[in-house]
Amino acid sequence: MGAYYVYILRCNDGTFYTGYTNNLKRRLKEHNNGKSKYCRGRRLPVKIEHFEIFKTQKSAMSREIEIKKMSRREKLKLIRINSNKV
């Protein structure tokens, strides 16, 4: 059983995109190659700002929904808090 990742990407124009996947490396590559339906054209390249690891798809989906409901300010706060942990 693999891991599921919930992530926040920041596009080149400053917008955020949140999602979940079981293959974060492939998803990031899709975004940066313009093959994602969400970040295309002027929004490229994307940079991963935050990610969390979950054991089940259900828990990853729940967290993704929580993050999508957050305001931009709350997302920036989440990114700052986690960047200070490193």
CATH code for the domain of 13: 3.40.1440.10
pLDDT (0 to 100) of residue 3: 92
| Residue 16, domain extent | 4-85
Run of H or E residues at 84: helix 72-85
Q: Which of 1, 9, 13 is nearest to 64 (CA)?
A: 9
pLDDT, tens digit, for every residue of 3-49? 999 999 888 888 888 889 999 888 888 887 877 766 666 667 778 89
* Residue 86: strand, helix, or coil: coil
The answer, yes or no, to whether residue 86 has pLDDT greater than 70, is no
DSSP string, 22-82: S-HHHHHHHHHTT-SSSS-GGG-S-EEEEEEEESSHHHHHHHHHHHHHS-HHHHHHHHHHH
Q: What global pTM score does this model have?
A: 0.79
More confident residue, 24 or 69: 69
When mean pLDDT is compared across 8-17, 32-41, 58-67, 70-79, the lowest value belongs to 32-41
Q: In terms of Cα–Cα distance, which of 4, 8, 5, 3 is closest to 82?
A: 8
Q: What total of structural domains would you count in the chain?
A: 1
